Structure 1
Amino acid sequence: MNISNARQVNLWGGVITLVTVVLAVIWAFPLYWGVISSLKPEDEVVRNYIEIWPENLTFQHYVHAITATQIGTWYVNSIAVALGVTLITITSSMLCGYALSQLRFPGRQVLWWLILASFMVPLQALIINHFVLVAQLGLLNTWAGIMLPQLIHPVIIIVYKQFFDQVPKDFREAAVMDSAGEFRILFKVYLPMNWGVTAALSIVCFIWTWNAFLWPFLSVTRTEMMTVTVGITQVNDAFGVYYARELAAAVLAGLPVALAYLLFQRKVTQAITLSAGIKG
């Protein structure tokens, strides 16, 4: 490579880097603006000009959100629902993926095609059916009612099946020769090989459930049973909207997910890559 080509490559690299930085700033600015606005007094938030940094830094809105609302209860509800959905979804998807991959039973192919076809039906199209069913079961305003419709994640089943398909058959044959049952083969042979996949899918499933809004909003009417994403909509005042208070509540609602992503960024990226590969 001569000097002119090297300079051209460096130039294009600099342009790409600059464009990437600009796009990153554009993407991150709303997040920065939301956090900074939550640290401003209300009169600064509603000014008709932009202030990149607050004149008077204050944490009063966070204090109000913590002390004057039921955000602690909403956190407990969100944690319980997210953990419950994650545990049930991962366990059932693992069992289903293993059965589809390693077992031969009547209707196996039909079940597989039904799971693939479920991608064609958006969850929002089933909201009415879900609401009627949950109401008839008497599960409105309960954790179970919030959790049940969120247990549908066919992509996790597909990821597990694809992984189990790639495990060499020799492992299964050796376990069968040792008279191991199917559950023992799954939990003693296959599961130890895919702890990374299971951890990645669990983290992403937890984040999906924590961020869910539409179904928890429709299935809960009692304030004390709301999840945090729904509960922050109740942070208002009889005399009007206080934007800084609502932004402070929104920051508190998104903080656990942001921390989870920062701590498990590699696992989250792995799970998204697996999901994107399946959907693609």
Structure 2
Amino acid sequence: MVRKPSLFWGLAAVAASAALALLWSAPLLWALSTALRPEHETVSASLHWLPQTWTAAAFAKVLAAGSLPRWLFNSALVAVLVTILTMAISIAAAYAFSQLKFRGRGVLFAMTMLAFMLPFEALIVPLFRLMNQLRLVDTYAGVILPQLVSPMAIYVFKQFFDAVPSDFRDAAAIDGASHWQVLRHVYLPVSANIVWAMAIIAFIGAWNNFLWPFIIITSSDMMTIPLGLTQTQDAFGVRYAQAMAAALLGGLPVAVAYLVFQRRVTAGLLAATGLKG
């Protein structure tokens, strides 16, 4: 009598998960189906979920066009540098806010947290003027620098560092370890999953960022994938197969990165919320 309700709700949960997965994947599958069909089928009056003629010509044409590889390189370079530098800045700042005693610490942390209340759109004009004065418009530095401060990452790391027993730090300090050594050998090893989770989030955010590259980039050679995809309409005309192929190729690195580090991301998020897996 106890197992029947449990079995029913278990099957209901599986069915609901399958339905949600199908609903989420339907646009992706349609994009893949469109990319694998000839251009004339994409504008056909009759609807076919599967291509009548399977072809990878759209992928070949997009890769041969020359712009997409450059956009992929720009996105990879920007996303990797933003991720590395953001993690370094966030971890160092969180450790300072959590473990160091210095004048004005509370005010600085409060100012950092206030950044949550400011949408990025409100900072576009002053940021662009600053980048223009520094002559960083249409440069990698101009794209990367405004993306380096992450209040969310600083807050998550600080909360986790606050929960680490102070005995670990005291023992390292007695042995003569500096603050950098304590951070590297004590706090980072115990927060590895958190670091991986926040790094993947930062990487995906930098890869998918459209607004700031749209403002700061003025040449085609400097475009990232999200910005470059807006140019495919002009480059290819009304060619939906090629547009879908470009979109899929642009999103592939992010999907691969998440799948490779999925377990670390899940463990990090569970640790950040105080749960154990």
Query: Aligned pair in 2 of structure 1 residues 275, 39: CA closer, same or farther (>3 Å)?
Result: farther
* Alignment counterpart, residue 99 of structure 2, candidates 98, 102, 113: 102
Q: 1:194 aligns with which of 188, 191, 196?
A: 191
* Alignment partner of 1:217 is 2:217: no
Q: Aligned ranges for residues 164-203 of structure 1 at < 5 Å?
A: 164-203=161-200
State the distance in 2 between where 1:194 and 1:275 align. 9
1:52 aligns with 2:49: yes
Shift of 1:274: 6.1
Bigger mean CA offset, 246-255 vs 111-120: 111-120
Contact kept, 8 Å, 1:74 with 1:226, in 2: the verdict is yes
Q: Which residue of 2 aligns with 1:117?
A: 114
One-letter identity of the residue aligned with 2:148:
L
1:83 alignment counterpart: 80
Sort the Cα spacing of 1:13 and 1:239 in 2 relative to 1 into closer, same or farther, 3 A: closer
Structure 1 residue 250 corresponds to structure 2 residue 213: no
Alpha carbons of structure 1 residues 109 and 26: separation in structure 2 relative to 1, 3 Å: same
> Deviations 1:161-205 (Å, cap 9, x if unpaired)?
112111111121122222222112211222222222222222221
Shift of 1:271: 4.5
Identity %: 43
1:6 partnered with 2:3: yes
Residue 146 of structure 1 is matched in structure 2 by 143
Give the 3 Å change call, closer, same or farther, for CA 12–181 of structure 1 in structure 2. Answer: closer
Residues in 2 aligned to 1:272 and 1:146: alpha-carbon distance in whole angstroms: 28
Q: Tell me how far 1:92 sits from its aligned partner.
A: 0.8
Structure 2: unaligned runs, 5 residues or longer: none
Per-residue CA deviations over 1:7-28 (Å, capped at 9, x if unaligned) read: 3443333333222212211111
Find the partner of 2:202 among 184, 199, 205: 205
**Unpaired runs of 5+ in structure 1?**
none
2:225 equivalent in structure 1:
228
Give the Å deviation of 1:254.
Answer: 0.2
Do 1:134 and 1:140's aligned partners in 2 also have CA atoms closer than 8 Å?
yes
Could you say what the CA RMSD is over the residues aligned between the two structures, in angstroms? 1.9
* Number of the residue aligned with 2:37: 40
Greater shift after overlay, 134-143 or 11-20? 11-20
TM-score (norm 1): 0.91
Q: Are 2:260 and 1:263 equivalent residues in the alignment?
A: yes
Question: What is the CA distance between 1:151 and its match in structure 2?
Answer: 1.1
On the 8 A contact 1:210/1:257 being kept in 2, the answer is yes
Would the aligned equivalents of 1:204 and 1:271 in 2 still touch at CA under 8 Å?
no
